Structure 1
Amino acid sequence: MFMGMRQTGEFELLSRIATNDGHGENCSYFDGWKAYDSDPFHPKHNPKGVIQMGLAENQLCFDLIEDWLKRNPEASICTREGISQFRDIGNFQDYHGLSSFRRAIARFMEKARGGRARFDPDRVVMSGGATGAQETMAFCLANPGEAFLIPTPYYPGFDRDFRWRTGVELLPFDCYSSNKFKITQSALESAYQEAVKNNVRVKGVLVANPSNPLGTTMDRETLRSLVSFVNDKNIHLVVDEIFSGTVFDSPDFVSVAEIVEDEPGRFNRDLIHVVYSLSKDLGLPGFRVGVIYSFNDAVVRCARRMSSFGLVSTQTQHLLAAMLGDEEFTSKYLAESRRRLSERRRTFEAGLREVGVRSLDSNAGLFCWMDLRHLLEAKTVEEELKLWRIIVHEVKLNISPGASFHCSESGWFRVCFANMDKETMDTALGRIRAFMARAERHRATNEKKKKWAAAAALRLSLPRNGRRYDDILISPHLAMSPHSPLVRAAT
């Protein structure tokens, strides 16, 4: 009976959320992860496996954290030195969080931003990672069907975090490589007016600073124009700053909190909100520590109530309060992390340049935005994905195609470089080197074939009256059209 009812649609066993594709797992971004999971690289046990370059993790400074833990065993309630606090910490349930934890987080946020912004511990709201923080912001600021503008390219997880369970929409507006993908006022205004024309209520703008996937930071003028825009429209600005401590080169990072503080009274502070976590700056995504920081009292109250659904364990809070409260450690950690990220970035980009591959100039993040547009036969998403499949399944590198980041220009790829040791990175660069050599051979072969095909066509179109036509056929001035070296490999 029930089977028949389900088949006719009269009875639905599961909810729309459970059965829809709002999570976004079925896309090329996650498909690359699946390819890695099914055939993971290991230098000894599986040296021909897929190398994971699609995961933005910071594994370059685990040794610094491990060393601190060895020197401070009392920070954990699961050690002989810290067991005396086990009962109090294990029983603590206040969703405000440990006051020592909120103070330490606020101080670390200031330090990660060069001390140029101030954060009130009483405005720090816990969340289960940045994913939970983004969703909570959406729940607090918008109703189902209402929308946030977002510049492209952007992190694919935003489609899941901000939209899936909340019903809030994201309206992308395009940015372009011609100005290094910077947000322009005209693009922002045009996207807003288009939404109004389509009777979509815009509740805010969502941006990431530093950008994921670009690895670039917003300059002060761009941030000020964003704050002015939302102020004029009376809508919200949510700024994801989870990579703020990874800025390893000039210009310095500018937080939206600085803009608000620089000109007190000019902007409506109730419209400004920051999302943060310890996943990138401290390299601890497994701790699931997300932070909502809002200048709006009502949002702080609401987000704190909602945090009951995704609290950070008190054991984790207790440990991090001690670690982040160690001023000497955090100062040295941030400085050394930036140094190592800068060195890794330079080494990786130098390896790419050796084989003629460029990437966007950047100064932050755990990845580079690699430009392979010259390898596409046509500047289309289909050609980009064709190239991506070759790189994942034949070259055995999981990189992320620009299309998965909603990039309007085909041929860009995000490549992560901080989630592996140097030996694995060298192996990855070796594979890229071999792939590009193969691509060059295909290009040369295809150009030769095209040259003789064009020559043959010209021969057929001309009168057969002697050697002067042969001279024409071998002329170096014939115009040839280079094609992708990857046509054969892709079919």
Structure 2
Amino acid sequence: MKKNKTSSSSGGGGGGGGAEAAAAMRVIVPLQGVVQGRGGLVLGSVIPCALLYFIQLYFRSRGGGGGDGREKSPPAAEAEQSSPALQRVHSRTLLFSRGHAPPPHVSSRAAAIAQNCNGPYYAGLERAHDDPYDDVANPDGVIHLALSHNTLVSDLVGEWVADHCAESLFGQELNMSDVAAYQPFDGLMELKMATSRFMSWHTGKGRFFDPENIVLTSGAAPAVEMLVFSLADTGNAFLVPSPYCPDLDEVKWRTGVEFIPVPCRRTDAFAISINALDRAFNQAKNRRQKVRGIIISNPSNPAGVLHSREVLETLLDFATEKNIHIISIESVLASEEFVSMTEVAEDVDKTRVHIVHALSNDLSVPSLATEFIYTCNETVLASVKKLARFSSVSVPTQRVLTSMLSDTKFVGNAVKVTRERIRRMRAGLAHGLRKSGIECVGSDGGLYCWADMSPLIRSYSEKGEIEMFDRLLSVAKINAVPGCSCHSVELGWFGFCFASLREEDIDIVLRRIRTVSDAGRSPR
């Protein structure tokens, strides 16, 4: 009997939706019989009908309903109204109308870096960038004396570039493939060999610098960062004689290391003190902090002290005794008396000495931002070669520098003229400051005048030093480096970099500084 009902139901398929109804009845009719047997005629009729209604409604909502069983696409207006995209736009509008959308997450590292860029040093950089001095276009702008950018022989460089730039980039046959193709991230071998010859010539005695041990980087700070990353783990420390360049603190951001400032004092003419280094090392050891090395600049930046061979030898003995590394940031421009740490370490353990050299700054083209690392430690060398991909130098820049360094006549003359202008400009600036009652450290090294303005600050404190910095920046329109940004323990000292000035600009700088110095000395 049930079979007959089922057969008749499946055979009577007239009208639209017959197939779906037949399928539904094959399920419902057996269920109807069960319900009738237990609940009587009423329940046996109502429940199957309700189930049939909901099943038909389900199939229609899925697009199965309709006269001929075929899907019909909804009208364009209905499709547009039911578009999910419009519904999302509507909900997004309602969300933003409340004005309470939370900001997307950024890392704690980013927040810490942003907070560390709020000191006077960075404020001065921003002011100098927004209102730069120009003797014609903006004669009342801020004169920028806070960065050690050497442009002293830019006139000579300009003449060389006008005569040789196209040939140095593309060669005599204008071969574009040499410039456009990818090259090793650690630098072209041609530039490494030219750099080796440059260093051998200008560090004296014709010492050999192995080009295989050179890694080129785009800037001194990235070079130091790569070395620090390769020498120390997160939480380890380096001893850094202070005052030191504020840019060096940026090395801590990604490496996670700590710098321990080791004070160099006025009574020692801001020279490195081995006793102070030993004291700082022992204090770190008592705090269970591992010291992995010492970072120095030669000449020191910003004090401009040129380290003698005796000081460097004592420093290397200290590093050997403590079994730590030395990173030396060097420039051959300072003086003919310059001694490289590689020369001192030649007969000792060279694997603990690593050089960072300001190549483009020595050549008076700081905008090319090309420095190099020189290390004889095979593990460190392999590491920094890999890390160089994050700070590689463009191929066109390397081509220009290779051609420039290969022109030994030009380079020799440029270095000679640069040293002469350094001596003249530093002497002129120091003499003018002395006439205003401001004394400078007596050194011919470096690109700064490290000047004692403590008699002019109103309170002998860091607050008074920052007030003097604000007066220099706002009243005199001079951006200098305050000692507090360099971790100096001597209050009231400021760094004035003269290497980006012309000789005729020295008088303008001195006149502006007098507007502050003539305002009176501190009543102490």
Instruction: Say yes or no: TM over 0.5.
Output: yes
Q: 1:318, 1:176 → 2: CA distance?
A: 43
CA displacement, residues 242-277 of structure 1 (integer Å, 9 cap, x when unaligned): xx22214x7x1111011012xx2xx32211101112
Q: Within 2, Cα distance between the matches of 1:228 and 1:297? A: 22
Please tell me whether the aligned partners of residues 471 and 516 of structure 2 are also in contact (alpha carbons under 8 angstroms): no
Deviation at 1:212, TM superposition (A): 0.4
> What CA deviation, in whole Å up to 9, does each residue of 1:311-367 have, x standing for no partner?
111221122111101221111111111011111111111211222221001122221
Match in the other structure for 2:432: 351
- The structural deviation recorded for 1:96 is 4.3
| Match of residue 289 from structure 2 | 200
Mapped partners of 1:253, 1:77: distance in 2: 32
Out of 484, 497, 500, the position equivalent to 1:403 is 484
Instruction: State how far apart, in whole Å, the 1-side matches of 2:101 and 2:260 are.
Output: 35
8 Å CA contact 2:329–2:356 kept in 1: the answer is: yes
* Displacement of 1:284: 2.1
Matched to 1:258, the amino acid is E
**1:116 CA drift (Å):** 5.9
Return the offset for 1:414. Answer: 0.1
Q: Structure 1 regions of 5+ residues with no counterpart?
A: 444-481, 485-491
User: Aligned residue for 1:417?
Assistant: 498
- Single out whichever of 386-395 and 67-76 deviates more from structure 2: 67-76
Deviates more, 1:397-406 or 1:16-25: 16-25
Give the whole-Å Cα distance in 2 for the aligned partners of 1:304 and 1:45: 44
- Alignment of 1:62 onto 2:154: yes
Corresponding position of 1:114: 204
Amino acid at match of 1:433: R
Q: In the alignment, which residue of structure 1 is the partner of 2:343?
A: 258
Q: Distance in 2 between matches of 1:208 and 1:230?
A: 16
Match of 1:52 in 2: 144
- Equivalent residue for 1:239? 328
For 1:70 and 1:43, locate their aligned partners in 2 and report how far apart those are by CA, in whole Å.
24
Distance 1:144 1:394, change over 3 A: same
Work out the CA distance in 2 between the residues paired with 1:39 and 1:89: 36
Partners of 1:117 and 1:194 lie apart in 2 by 38
Cα pair distance change 1:69/1:38, threshold 3 Å: closer
1:372-383 to 2 correspondences below 5 Å: 372-383=453-464
Query: For the Cα contact (< 8 Å) 1:403–1:410, is it kept in 2?
Result: yes
Q: What percent of counterpart residues are identical?
A: 33
Partner SS for 2:216: strand
The residue number in structure 1 matching 2:370 is 289
CA distance in 2, matches of 1:23, 1:289: 28
The answer to whether 1:185 aligns with 2:225 is: no
1:178-234 Cα shifts (integer Å, max 9, x gaps): 011111221111100000100111111111111100111111111111111111111
Match of 1:34 among 109, 126, 146: 126
2:57 aligned partner: none
1:146 maps to 2:236: yes
For 2:169, which of 63, 66, 77 is the aligned residue? Answer: 77
- Structure 2: which 5+ runs fail to align? 1-91
Q: CA deviation at 1:379?
A: 2.5
Give the corresponding residue for 2:38: none
Report the Cα distance in structure 2 between the residues aligned to 1:320 and 1:430, rounded to whole angstroms.
38
Does the 8 A contact of 1:77 with 1:83 survive in 2?
Answer: no
Paired with 1:187 and 1:268, the residues of 2 have a C-alpha distance of 24
CA contact (8 A) 2:185 2:388 kept: yes
SS of the aligned residue for 1:93 comes to coil
Give the SS at the match of 1:122: helix
> Distance between the aligned counterparts of 1:115 and 1:365, measured in 2?
22
Q: Which amino acid aligns with 2:487?
A: H
Alpha-carbon distance in structure 2 between the residues aligned to 1:82 and 1:384: 56
Aligned partners of 2:475 and 2:516 also within 8 Å: no
Q: Which amino acid in structure 1 is aligned with residue 362 of structure 2? A: D
Deviation at 1:82, TM superposition (A): 4.3
Question: Does the CA contact (< 8 Å) of 2:217 and 2:370 recur in 1?
Answer: yes
1:333 equivalent among 391, 399, 414 = 414
* Contact 2:252 2:258 (C-alpha < 8 Å) held by counterparts: yes
Distance 2:165 2:363 in 1: 19
8 A contact 1:401–1:413 mirrored in 2 = yes
> Match of 1:322?
403
User: Offset of 1:14 from its aligned partner?
Assistant: 1.7
- Which protein, 1 or 2, shows the higher relative CO under an 8 Å CA cutoff with sep ≥ 6? 1
- The Cα of 1:12 is off from its aligned counterpart by 7.1
Counterpart-to-counterpart distance in 2, 1:430 and 1:163: 38
Larger gyration radius, structure 1 or structure 2: 2
8 Å contact kept, 2:306–2:446: no
Could you tell me which residue of structure 1 aligns to residue 305 of structure 2? 216
Query: CA RMSD of the aligned region, Å?
Result: 2.3
Matched, 1:98 2:98: no
How far apart are 1:42 and its partner, in Å? 2.6
**What is the SS of the residue equivalent to 2:523?**
coil
1:308 is aligned to 389
Which secondary structure state, in structure 2, belongs to the residue aligned with residue 205 of structure 1? strand
